[in-house]
Amino acid sequence: MGNNQGPKGLTRRELLSRATAAGATFMVGTGFVTSGSAAWAVEASALKPETLATLVQMARDIYPHDKVADEFYVIAVKGYDTAEAAPAIEAGIAALNAAAQGKGNASYLDTGWERDRVDILRGMEDSAFFQQIRGGLVTGLYNQKAVWPIFGYEGESYSQGGYIERGFDDINWL
Amino acid sequence: MPATFDLNDDSVVVIIGTGAGGGVLANELAQKGVKVVSLEAGGRYLPDDYINDEWESFGQLAWVDPRTTSGDWRVAKDFSGLPAWIVKAVGGTTIHWAGASLRFQEHEWKAKTTYGDVQGANLLDWPIDGAEMAPYYEKAETKLGVTRTGGRAGLPGNNNFKVFEKGAQALGYKEVHTGRMAINSGDYDDRMSCQQTGFCFQGCKWGAKWSAAYTDIPRGEATGNLEVRDRCHVARILHNEAGKVTGVEYFDKDGNLQMQKARIVCVAGNSFESPRLLLNSASSMFPDGLANSSGQVGRNYMRHMTGSVYGVFDKPVRMWRGTTMAGIIQDEARHDPSRGFVGGFEMETLSLGLPFMAAFLDPGGWGREFTTALDGYENMAGMWLVGEDMPQETNRVTLNHDVKDQYGLAVANVHFDDHPNDIAMRNYAYKKGMAIYEAVGATRVFPTPPYPSTHNLGTNRMSENGRDGVVNRHGQTHDIANLFVSDGSQFTTGASENPTLTIVALAIRQADFIAGEMSRGNL
Ligand SMILES: Cc1cc2nc3c(=O)[nH]c(=O)nc-3n(C[C@H](O)[C@H](O)[C@H](O)COP(=O)(O)OP(=O)(O)OC[C@H]3O[C@@H](n4cnc5c(N)ncnc54)[C@H](O)[C@@H]3O)c2cc1C
Ligand code: SF4
C-alpha cells in the first residue's frame, strides 16, 4: 500500500456520498480506497475499489478492534487483490451485498450499524467465502508485528536477554 | 566424529525418528558401542536457528505433511488437516516441548485394575510398574536435568505462575509449585540456566531447556557409533521369508529411494507416523501390516484429556514473560471417582503469544465476543489442563489411500471421539480452572477447547499378552523379535502426566535390553 497516495485519493470524492454510511472506509476515485481521515489509502489493482473497501469493512466487522487502525485491516486483506483471487472475492462480496439488500440496505457498506452488518455476516457464516476471509485474517491481522504493541504483546525477547531482568515476575497487584 | 555406515551394512540398528524416544535411544545405544543409523524426516536446527516468532517457528519446525481427520473431536472441525502439533526435525518434538517432566503415579501403571471396567474403554494394565521404572526415571531425570528432582532447585515463578498460585491457594490446593521441569534453574550439564525469554514452544535459543537436538544427538555422534541422516523419510520396513526385518526403504534428501540394511529396526516416528509406517509396510506375509497380528496397530490412540482456561483481569499480567509452563497444581491428579470420572488431571501454567492466542483461544470464533477477549490479552493469565483419557479401540490411525503425501504414500487418517469419561473430566477441570482465576478477581474466564494434539500416545501399545497389544514390556514387537517401537505409541494407557519423561525412561531401559540381547546373541 502507499500512504503517500492518500492526499491524491482524497481529492476525488465522487463516490464518497455512497460510502459515508459505514463510517471508516470509503472508496475514493478510481482505483483508490482510503479512510475518511486519510490515515491510509491503497490502490486496488485486480479488485474493484468498492469491493476492496467492502472487504476491509467486512474484515473489521469480523475482528473488530477499536484500537486497531484501518491500515492493518487493509494489509490483512490486500493479498486477495490479485488476478487469481479476485473473481472469487468479487463473487463473495456480491453475495454479501445481495444479503444486505435483502435486509433493505443499499449495500453492505451502506449498512450503518455494526450490529446490522454482523447480522448479515451471521447469515453467511458457513459459506466458504466467509470462512476463507475469517481464516485468513487470523494470521493476516494478528500476525502483523506492528499490531502486537496495540495489544501489549512484546514479541521476541531473546535479543534483549529475555525477561530475567526485565519483569518476568513484576506483577504488583496480587 | 559422526560415523558413516554403508547402506549394505546389516550389522547396524536403524532407528526411525530422532525425538524423545528415538533420539535418546540412539545416544544410549551409541554410548554402549552399538552401531546406529538414525533416519530423520526433518532437517537439522540448533538454538541459533530457532525463531522466536510463533508462526515463523511453526513454519520452520512443524510437521505439515498431509494428514486427515475424522470423529467428533473439535480438532477435526477446526484443524482438519492438522490433528497434531509435532515437530519434523532432528530432535523431534523435544524442540517444541515445554519441559514438564513428571513420573506416573503408581496406580496409573495399572489402569484396568484400578479403574475397573469402564464402558467403551479398552483399558489394560501396563506389563511394567513404578518399581520397575524407578531407576530409569531417575536416569531420565538426571539426563534431562529435571528441577525439583535430584537436588536441583525449582525455577522462579513468573507473573503467570503468581496469579495461578494465588488462585490455587484460595481454593485450598496444596501441591502447587513451579513444576518439575527439564529446564535448567542453574548451570547444568554444560547448558546455561533459563533466561525467561518465554518461547519454550519455539525452541530454546539459550539451550536451557533439554532437547535431544543439542544433547543426546551430538553426544551420540561424538562416540563415532551414530550416524544421523536428516531429511530422510522412511517409507517402508522390509523383512525376509523368516519374518525378520532386514532393513528399511527411505527417500533421501534428494527424493531418491534408498535401502538401508539393518540387524534391528526401531520405530520412533511419534504416534501417527509409527503405526502408519507399520501399516504401509504390509506385505504378502503380513497383509495387515507389520507386527499387527493383534489388529491393535493404530488403535487406542490417546491424546490426553486437554483443554485450557484463560482468565482476564482488570490489571496487567503479561503472561508471555518467562517460562511457558513452569507452574503446576497436582491435587487433582489423584484417582477419585467421586468427582464423576476415573483418573485425574494436572493443571499447568500456559501462555501463548498473541498470534497463537488468536488462532487457539476459540477456533472459528469472531465478532466482539472474540475480539474483546483478545483486547484483554495483556491482562490475561492462562493454564493448560492435562488428564488421562480413555483408550478406545475405535480411536485410531488408519491409512487414507485417497490422500497421498509428497512421496506417494498413503497418509494417516486420525479418528478420535471423546469418551464420556474424557468429557466429564474436562468439564470438571474447566470449572476448577475458572474458579482459580475467579478467586483472584478475573473479570472474564474462557474454557478453551483442545488444541491440535501435542501428546500423541498408544497406537502401538504395550501388553503382557500378544493378543492385546503390539509390543511387549521392552517395546519389542510381539510378532517380530528384531522390530521395536521406541516412542510414545508404546503407551498402554496415558496417565495424567505429560508423557515425555516416561518416553525417555522407556528408551533408556530399551537400550539396556537391546544391547543385552545383542551381546547375548539373541538379536
Ligand atoms: C508445543 C508442545 C509442548 C509440549 N510440552 C511437553 C511438556 O511440557 N512435557 C511433556 O512431557 N511433553 C510435552 N510435549 C510432548 C512431547 O514433545 C512429545 O511427547 C515427545 O516429543 C514425543 O516423543 P516421540 O519420540 O514419540 O516423537 P517425536 O519427538 O515427535 O519424534 C518423532 C520424530 O520422528 C520423525 N519421523 C516421523 N516419521 C518418520 C519417517 N517416516 N521417517 C523418518 N523420520 C520420521 C519426526 O520427524 C520426528 O522428528 C509437548 C509437545 C508440543 C508440541
Ligand atoms: S523461558 Fe527459559 S526455557 Fe523457555 S525458551 Fe526461554 S530460556 Fe529457554
- Mean pLDDT confidence for B477-502: 98
Range scoring the smallest mean pLDDT among A35-49, B9-23, B315-329? A35-49
Ligand 1 atom at minimal distance to the Cα of residue B39: 43
Check whether B271 has a pLDDT greater than 70: yes
Ligand 2 atom at minimal distance to the Cα of residue B183: 3
Q: What is the reported pLDDT for B419?
A: 98
Residue whose C-alpha is closest to residue B83's, from B100, B96, B71:
B71
> Tens of pLDDT along B159-217?
999 999 999 999 999 999 999 999 999 999 999 999 999 999 999 999 999 999 999 99
* Residue A111 belongs to some domain of the structure: yes
* Residue A170 belongs to some domain of the structure: no
* Residue A46 belongs to some domain of the structure: yes
| Ligand 2 center–CA B245 separation, angstroms | 41
* Residue A62 belongs to some domain of the structure: yes
| Ligand 2 center–CA B195 separation, angstroms | 6
To test the pocket of ligand 1, the residue of B88, B500, B502, B506 to mutate (highest count of ligand atoms within 8 Å of its CB) is B500
Q: What is the reported pLDDT for B346?
A: 98
- As a dihedral over the C-alpha atoms of residue B478, residue B483, residue B488, residue B489, rounded to 10 degrees, the angle is -50
If you write DSSP's letter for every residue of B411-437 in order, what string do you get?
EEEEE----HHHHHHHHHHHHHHHHHH
Q: What is the reported pLDDT for A113?
A: 96
Partner residue facing B162 (CB), from A65, A118, A169: A169
B176/B330 Cα distance (integer angstroms): 7
DSSP state for residue B462 in the 8-state scheme: B
**pLDDT band, residue A31 (cuts 50/70/90):** low
**CB atoms B198 and A168 under 8 Å:** yes
User: What is the model's pTM?
Assistant: 0.94
CATH superfamily of B1-50+84-97+102-146+211-293+456-523: FAD/NAD(P)-binding domain (3.50.50.60)
* Residue A166 belongs to some domain of the structure: no
Sheet holding B410-415, edge to edge: B68-70, B410-415, B396-404
CATH class of the region B153-203+305-387+418-449: alpha beta
Percent of chain B with pLDDT over 90: 98
Helix A114-123 vs helix A49-62: crossing angle, to nearest 10: 90
Q: What is the reported pLDDT for B1?
A: 78
Pairing of strands B233-239, B245-251: antiparallel
Q: What is the residue extent of each domain of chain B?
A: 1-50+84-97+102-146+211-293+456-523, 153-203+305-387+418-449
Q: What is the reported pLDDT for B20?
A: 98
Pairing of strands B483-485, B264-267: parallel
Partner residue facing A169 (CB), from B156, B195, B378: B156
**Bridge partners of residue B387, in order along the sequence:** B305, B345
Mean of per-residue pLDDT scores for chain A: 83
- Distance from the first to the final alpha carbon of chain B: 27
**pLDDT band, residue A44 (cuts 50/70/90):** confident
CB B485 within 8 A of CB B470: yes
* Residue A171 belongs to some domain of the structure: no
Helix A86-102 vs helix A49-62: crossing angle, to nearest 10: 70
B40/B250 Cα distance (integer angstroms): 10
What domain range is A26 assigned to? 12-160
As a residue count, chain A comes to 174
CB B165 within 8 A of CB B317: no
This complex has an ipTM of 0.92
Helix B500-519 vs helix B20-31: crossing angle, to nearest 10: 40
Partner residue facing A162 (CB), from B197, B366, B375: B197
**pLDDT band, residue A39 (cuts 50/70/90):** low
**For chain A, counts of helices (H) and of strands (E):** 7, 3
**pLDDT band, residue A35 (cuts 50/70/90):** low
3-state SS class at B83: coil
B128/B257 Cα distance (integer angstroms): 39
As a residue count, chain B comes to 523
| Beta carbon of B495 within 6 Å of any ligand 2 atom | no
**pLDDT band, residue A42 (cuts 50/70/90):** confident
Check whether B37 has a pLDDT greater than 90: yes
Partner residue facing A148 (CB), from B166, B205, B354: B354
- Mean pLDDT confidence for A140-168: 96
Substitution target in B54, B57, B320, B321 with the highest count of A β-carbons within 10 Å is B321
**pLDDT band, residue A32 (cuts 50/70/90):** low
Alpha helix positions (H), B79-215: 111-115, 130-144, 159-170
What is the widest separation between alpha-carbon atoms in chain A? Answer: 59
> Tens of pLDDT along B393-415?
999 999 999 999 999 999 999 99
Residue whose C-alpha is closest to residue B279's, from B297, B293, B257, B302:
B297
B119/B105 Cα distance (integer angstroms): 23
| Ligand 1 center–CA B455 separation, angstroms | 8
Q: Does A128 touch chain B (CB under 8 A)?
A: no
Atom 6 of ligand 2, residue of closest alpha carbon: B197
Check whether A17 has a pLDDT greater than 70: no
**What is the 3-state composition of chain B as percent helix, strand, coil, each rounded to the nearest 5?**
30, 20, 50
B382/B34 Cα distance (integer angstroms): 45
Q: Does A113 touch chain B (CB under 8 A)?
A: no
- Collect all residues of chain B within an 8 Å Cβ-Cβ radius of residue A143: 55, 355
> Tens of pLDDT along B276-305?
999 999 999 999 999 999 999 999 999 999
CB B390 within 8 A of CB B421: yes
- Mean pLDDT confidence for B444-459: 96
* Chain centre distance of CA B442: 32
Q: What is the reported pLDDT for B460?
A: 98
> Tens of pLDDT along B45-101?
999 999 999 999 999 999 999 999 999 998 998 898 999 999 999 999 999 999 999
Q: What is the reported pLDDT for A34?
A: 61
Spell out which residues line ligand 1, taking CB within 6 angstroms: B 16-22, 39-42, 85-89, 92-94, 96-100, 201, 233-234, 268-270, 273, 277, 325, 454-455, 487-488, 498-500, 503
Amino acid letter, residue B449: P
**CB atoms A174 and B162 under 8 Å:** yes
| Beta carbon of B181 within 6 Å of any ligand 2 atom | no
If you write DSSP's letter for every residue of A109-174 in order, what string do you get?
TT---HHHHHHHHHHTTTSHHHHHHHHHHHHHTTT-TTTGGGGT-----GGGTTTTTTTTT-----
Check whether B520 has a pLDDT greater than 60: yes
Amino acid letter, residue B471: V
Exposed, middle or buried by CB within 10 Å (0-12, 13-18, 19+), for B241? Answer: exposed
Partner residue facing B195 (CB), from A138, A141, A161: A161
Q: Does B115 touch chain A (CB under 8 A)?
A: no
A18/B123 Cα distance (integer angstroms): 66
Q: How many domains does chain A have?
A: 1
- Mean pLDDT confidence for A144-168: 97
Mean of per-residue pLDDT scores for chain B: 97
Query: A29: number of CA atoms within 13 Å, CB side?
Result: 15
Q: Cα separations (Å) of A51 from A5, A33, A63, B396, B499?
A: 19, 10, 18, 45, 51
Which residue pairs, CB below 8 angstroms and at least 24 apart, start in B171-176? B171/B432, B171/B435, B171/B436, B171/B439, B173/B329, B173/B331, B174/B331, B175/B328, B175/B329, B175/B330, B175/B331, B176/B327, B176/B328, B176/B329, B176/B330, B176/B331
| Ligand 1 center–CA B20 separation, angstroms | 6
| Beta carbon of B509 within 6 Å of any ligand 2 atom | no
Ligand nearest to the CA of B325: 1
- Collect all residues of chain A within an 8 Å Cβ-Cβ radius of residue B311: none
